[in-house]
Amino acid sequence: MDYQAAATIIDRNSGLYDITTNEGRVRRRLFLSAQGNICEFAPRSRKRGYIIPQSTVANWLGIVKVEKPDTMIR
The model's pLDDT over 7-56, given as tens digits with 9 standing for 90+, comes to: 999 998 999 999 999 999 999 999 999 999 999 999 999 889 999 999 99
User: What is the per-residue pLDDT for 1?
Assistant: 86
User: What is the per-residue pLDDT for 71?
Assistant: 74
User: What is the per-residue pLDDT for 68?
Assistant: 81
Bridge partners, residue 26, by sequence: 19
Angle at 46 between CA 33 and CA 6, to 5 degrees: 35
Is the model's pLDDT at 74 over the cut of 80? no
Angle at 12 between CA 11 and CA 15, to 5 degrees: 90
